[in-house]
Amino acid sequence: MQDKSSRPYHHGDLRRVVIETAQDMLREEKGWQFTLREVARRAGVSHAAPYKHFPEKSALLAELAALGFDQLRSEIAGALERPLRSARAEFIAAAKAYIHFGTTNPSLYRLMFSGDVDKTAHAKLEEASAGAFAELLAILERGQVGEAFKKQPVHGQAAAAWALVHGLTMLAIDGQLLPQKVGAKPIDAALTSMLEGLET
């Protein structure tokens, strides 16, 4: 019987197959403790095949995280496609899209912000992360131009808003937004409090 580890890969699009397999494993295992060898075995390719595109596991994890940020940006942009009549409505729609993405993709979301992935070492990941953050900046800038939000340094406003939404997302993922602690609608209440600080 031929050893699977010596089997040559036979996929026409090896990179895509490796990424999709790793994405499946990330969802199923609720973490990224898998090895490239395990990804190769699951994908049905030789254990050396993934290294043709990802020289080390961290490169594959960075790719997964970059795709996550691209998806996050897309979902935020999608939430803003329908006509929204105010800066407040835009902010709430984007924040809820962000939180929904994180809570429906918890393992991917954790990976995106994990210390196991070095954004500075992977240009594509750094670019994707900045792209998602740019959606938030644009909402705040439009709000300032329309005089709905206070004219303050927009990056400071963005840092505060991101900290709140990221924190809410992590608390929701960890099941910590309990009614007895934070009330029946903690996300709505927190966003309202944030907006009261932003609005003129």
Nearest to 32 by CA among 105, 108, 126: 108
If you search the block for the tokens 């080390």, which residue do you land on? 56
pLDDT digits (tens, 9 = 90+) for 83-138: 888 999 999 999 999 999 999 999 999 999 999 998 888 999 999 999 999 999 99
Q: What is the pLDDT of residue 12?
A: 66
Evaluate if residue 171 carries a pLDDT over 90. Answer: yes
DSSP conformation class of 146: T
Evaluate if residue 4 carries a pLDDT over 90. Answer: no
Q: What is the average pLDDT value for the chain, to the nearest integer? A: 92
Sequence-distant (≥ 6) Cβ neighbours of residue 112 within 8 angstroms: 65, 68, 69, 72, 129
pLDDT digits (tens, 9 = 90+) for 16-58: 999 999 999 999 999 999 999 999 999 999 999 999 999 999 9
CB neighbourhood size of 164 (10 A): 17
**Separation between Cα atoms, residue 29 and residue 71, nearest integer Å:** 20
Provide the residue ranges of all domains of the chain, joining segments of one domain with +: 1-55, 61-198
Which fold is adopted by the domain 1-55?
Arc Repressor Mutant, subunit A (1.10.10)
Nearest to 24 by CA among 125, 118, 122, 107: 107
Which fold is adopted by the domain 61-198?
Tetracycline Repressor; domain 2 (1.10.357)
Evaluate if residue 176 carries a pLDDT over 80. Answer: yes
